[in-house]
Amino acid sequence: MLSKEKTIADVSSWANISDDLLRLIATLTRSPQHHSRMTAVCRSWRASLADQKINFPAVCLMLRNNGDYHRFYSISGEIFDELDLLEFRGWDCFGSPFGWLVTSDWDCEIQLFNPFSRASFPLPKNNSPMVKLILSINPEEPNSNCIVFAIYDGRRHIGFAKPGDLAWRALIYDDDGGFGGGIFIWDDVIYFKCNFYGCLNSGVIVLFEDLHGAHPESVKFASRPPNFHGGHTCYLFDLDGNLCMTEYIDYRIEFVIFKLDMDTKSWEKIYSLGDRSLFLGNCCTFTVAAADYPGCKPSCIYYTDELTDVEVNGIYEVEKYLDKDIGLGSLVQPFPKSELMEDFFPPLCWIIPYPL
């Protein structure tokens, strides 16, 4: 049996544990929360683990706050993680595949925040209600030129800002012959192959140019797809290097997916996501390779929306229906019920805690 003196000595030497052993232990942690707790033990542990890329193959659904806590539902393990995020109680949170949230509160304060490392970057205030905040890239990447897009004021306006900016820059789109009387509803924005594209509710794709210059512009890039329904929420996403758009037809609870030819500006209706999983909701729209994230199903849509009935939120199998005259998607698995999912304020959002 170990002596009391030896036990105390062992405990006091935790800070001096070898980097190799500490990193090995860190690779065995089962959740971002466990890894975060390890980095909080002492300064030496935090320094040793700071540059270690831990493989947490999980896409998480962040549920609304319960008191001062936020819970994360892991698709890979179907478990909940819980983090104390007192400072963001009541804030709206918009997820991303980069491990970061874009947060917004009632006082118009907006910032980038990593709930696992607690790093943050300020963004300018915006007095209009935020509908969607979209993060382009990881703000911590070397030489990152991160841009955040905002869809606000009932989706009638769109703008952008970079961390540290003093104000948002509004983008004006005019496709009515120059009279400036058009009213356009924005649904989504994507950073795709070094350019930013927006999607109107009509299905029109808009290219945003010269965002780093003095006079950024919004120009029509592609017309709406043929036989496009219109009037329903659209999402833009990258599917194996192709710019795609899906339209969620709420009254039929189905999805229609189109792929854009960037050269001819023509659309093709597609009926499979291949080996990818698509995540839609109050977040940056993104896909992942299902094989890289255990628990993810290939050619499935993971859908959440605070404006729809809770029963509609879940996993949709794209290839369930192959009839070309109807939409795609069959709800194969609803998300787990909990007291946190009975209402949607703040809205649910997707986040990848530690991207691969």
pLDDT tens digits for 63-95? Answer: 655 556 677 777 766 555 677 777 777 678 888
pLDDT band at 278 (very low <50, low <70, confident <90, very high): very high
Q: Specify the DSSP class assigned to residue 228.
A: -
- In percent, the amount of the chain with pLDDT more than 70 equals 74
Mean per-residue pLDDT for 291-300? 88
Same domain, 322 and 221: yes
Domain boundary among 14, 29, 54: 54
Residue 30 shares a structural domain with residue 138: no
- Domain membership flag for residue 183: yes
Per-residue pLDDT, 336 = 55
Q: 42 or 136, which is more confident?
A: 136
Portion of the chain with pLDDT greater than 90, in percent = 38
Q: Is residue 41 located within the same domain as residue 152?
A: no
Residue 33 lies in a domain: yes
> pLDDT averaged over the chain?
80
* Residues forming a β-bridge with 176: none
Q: What is the pLDDT of residue 326?
A: 46
Polymer length of the chain: 356
Q: Which of 151-160, 169-178, 247-256, 302-311 has the largest mean confidence?
A: 151-160
What is the mean pLDDT of the segment spanning 196-222? Answer: 94
Structure confidence by residue, pLDDT tens digits, 302-314: 988 765 556 677 8
Would residue 272 count as lying in a domain?
yes
Q: Which domain holds residue 145?
A: 132-343
Among residues 33, 54, 75, the one where a domain terminates is: 54
Could you tell me which residues come within 8 angstroms of residue 28 by beta carbon, excluding any fewer than 6 positions away? none
Please give, one letter per residue, the 3-state secondary structure of 193-242.
Answer: CCEEEEEECCCCEEEEECCCCCCCEEEEEECCCCCCCCCCEEEEEEECCE
Res. 150: pLDDT tops 90: yes
Confidence class of residue 177 from pLDDT cuts 50, 70 and 90?
very low
Dihedrals φ, ψ of 125, to 5°?
-70, 155
Do 136 and 36 share a structural domain? no
Instruction: Output the domain CATH number for residue 225.
Output: 2.120.10
State whether 140 and 28 are in the same domain: no
Does 124 reside within a domain?
no
The reply to whether 316 and 206 lie within a common domain is yes
- Looking at the whole model, is its pTM more than 0.75? yes
Same domain for 48 and 141? no
Domain termination residue (choose one: 38, 54, 70): 54
Among the listed residues 194, 198, 285, the one whose alpha carbon sits nearest the alpha carbon of residue 239: 285
| Same domain as 166, residue 20 | no
Q: Are residues 173 and 298 in the same domain?
A: yes
41 and 147, same domain (yes or no): no
The backbone region for 347, taken as left when phi is positive above 0, alpha when psi lies in -120 to 50, beta otherwise, is beta
**Three-state DSSP class for 33?**
helix
Please tell me whether residue 34 adopts helix, strand or coil conformation.
Answer: helix
Are both 35 and 172 inside the same structural domain? no
Q: Which segments of 114-167 does DSSP mark as H helices, in order? A: none
CA 215, 219, 221, 227 torsion-angle sign: positive
- Which band of pLDDT confidence, cut at 50, 70 and 90, is reported for residue 188? very high
The verdict on residue 60 lying in a domain is no
Q: Are strands 276-280 and 300-303 parallel, antiparallel or unpaired?
A: parallel
> 139 and 50, same structural domain?
no
> How many domains, in total, are found in the chain?
2
Q: What mean pLDDT do residues 251-255 have? A: 73
- Is 48 or 355 the better-scoring residue by pLDDT? 48
83 found inside a domain: no
**Is residue 97 assigned to a domain?**
no
Q: Is 107 contained in some domain?
A: no
Rg (CA), the chain: 22
